[in-house]
Amino acid sequence: MNNFNWDSSFMVDFDTFSGISKTAKATQRKLSQMKGMFYDEKLTDKILEKEDPVIYEFYELCCPERAGDLAFGTTILYSGKVGNEYYMTKGHFHTIIDTAEVYYALDGEGYMVMENLEGDTVEVKVSKGQAVYVPRGYAHRTVNTGDKPLILFFTFAADAGHDYGTIETKGYHKMVVEKNGKAAIIDNPHWK
């Protein structure tokens, strides 16, 4: 990675079907790393007594964290539920709050759940071949409502950083659950 000349063009690899890169290392998020994210904390603990499933993984595809550059990569969010709540990413604000982000779905289906610090919430369905624009100032998390991985390509300002702490402390106003065999958006009773 240090051999790149960041001031010229460079190539990276990722498979447009699987989202997997042969050269970048995946970062995995297991259920144990998402304690407190799912509504049913008792069920989360019960699952963890037997296994620690990978909920999602992502590949950051090489870029320095400096102004004027773009960070980009892929996220692979696996299919599954904790109780009736679909698997999701942790979600985050950007440290530079006025940063937008774009996600393009390579495969699968689900939702992009967004909210700003003032409490405005937006939930957008996303499926293969669609792009979602996350406006500046909005925390965002992806939820997989399908029966196969939801695979996304993302890009944002490279110096934006990530603020996971606000979401870990407060949660999201809304959650996506299965109700009568379909995805439903409901108020999060644990929202602080």
Q: Where are the domains of the chain?
A: 26-187
pLDDT class of 12 with cuts at 50, 70, 90 = confident
Q: Is the pLDDT of residue 4 over 70?
A: no
Instruction: Kindly report the pTM of this predicted structure.
Output: 0.90
Structural contact between residues 151 and 74, judged by C-beta atoms closer than 8 angstroms = yes
State the Cα angle at 105 between 99 and 109, rounded to 5°: 115
- pLDDT tens digits, one per residue of 82-139: 999 999 999 999 999 999 999 999 999 999 999 999 989 999 999 999 999 999 999 9
Query: Average of pLDDT values for 137-161?
Result: 95
In the prediction, which pLDDT does 8 show? 60
Q: Is the pLDDT of residue 6 over 80?
A: no
Sheet-wide strand order for 138-144: 121-127, 109-116, 138-144
Q: Of the CATH numbers 3.30.365.10, 2.60.120.10, 3.40.50.720, 2.40.50.140, which one belongs to the domain with range 26-187? A: 2.60.120.10
Higher-pLDDT residue of 26 and 2 is: 26
Which residue matches tokens 């109700």?
A: 179
In the prediction, which pLDDT does 129 show? 97
63: nearest Cα among 152, 155, 164, 151: 155
Query: Average of pLDDT values for 3-15?
Result: 65
Higher-pLDDT residue of 50 and 8 is: 50
Over the chain, what is the mean pLDDT?
Answer: 91
Higher-pLDDT residue of 65 and 7 is: 65
HSE-CB of 92 using CA atoms within 13 angstroms: 15
Q: Hey, which of 14-23, 53-62, 81-90, 183-192 has the most confident mean pLDDT?
A: 81-90
109 backbone dihedrals φ, ψ, rounded to 5°: -150, 155
